[in-house]
Amino acid sequence: MILFGYRLPAMSSLILWGLLWEIFGQLEVTYFIPSLSAIFITLIEIAPTPAFIKAISETAHAFIVGIFFAVFIGVPVGILMGKNRIIDELLLPWVNMFLSAPLTALVPVLMVLFGFGIKSIIIITTLFAIWIIVLNSRAGVMQINRSLVDMAKSFGAKPQDAFFKIYFWAALPEILGGIRIGFIRAVKGVIIGQLLISIVGFGALFELYSSNFLMKHFWCVIIVLFAMAFTLSEILAHLERKVSYYASKRG
């Protein structure tokens, strides 16, 4: 953004919105929206409490494990689908169905199957993230330059060499794009899972704060979650830009 000839740093508009929020909060229009500064003071107060640390670490745990499965299953499956017609035809309908399915509706079933603990939340996180990762990896492989494949074959590439040295790298820009969207979906998954199960992580905190009308605390949690999701997505977008130089110049 350029204002009066000065180039403002990225996201400086956030400051403006933050100010508006502060003013609105100071006016004490409603109990439900406290001022931003009050929220930050509360955040500093509650951040070291065991309940908050426990919530953060449980969420991080579920998120990391869930995303790990989503990436390490999703990417190879997507690449195989892109390479192999038969595998593709077997799996594609399922992937498309789960991609658009309202996964939240599955949560009660998962709770029955896997209990009310962190295991269910990990599975929910994986389920939210994996499908787009599969589809993007598949799309990345499908647009591969055929002569790269012929080239590898003509030099006698073994299947695993073709997989790791050609398909994976050729599809990398799309794979990273898929992982970025997968991460964003995983954030949703981990939070929705916790809210529905509501005895672990931020679910428990939300329950505690909202049933006691601790609005400042409640907003703290929301801001922390938003900031975490946003940072993650920016880091991944940055990585994606690093490899995109060849996305347009493959061949």
Binding site for another protein (CB under 8 A): 145, 147-148, 150-158, 161, 165-166, 169, 172, 243, 245-246, 249-251
Residue nearer to another protein on the CB measure, 144 or 190 = 144
Comparison of 61 and 165: residue with beta carbon closer to another protein = 165
Considering the complex, what minimum distance in angstroms separates the CB of residue 76 from another protein? Answer: 19
CA-to-CA dists, residue 220 to 27, 57, 81, 195, angstroms = 19, 16, 43, 16
Identify the CA nearest to 34 among candidates 176, 213, 212, 162: 213
- In the complex, least distance from residue 90 CB atom to another protein, rounded to whole angstroms: 24
| Closest of 36, 93, 79, 55 to residue 172, by C-alpha | 79
What's the closest the beta carbon of residue 79 comes to another protein, in angstroms?
Answer: 16
Place of tokens 């990762």: 133
Q: Least distance (Å) from another protein to the CB of residue 148? A: 5
Nearer to another protein, 31 or 245 (CB): 245
CA distance 211 to 15: 31
Q: How many CB atoms lie within 10 A of CB 54?
A: 15
Of residues 7 and 146, the one with the C-beta less far from another protein: 146
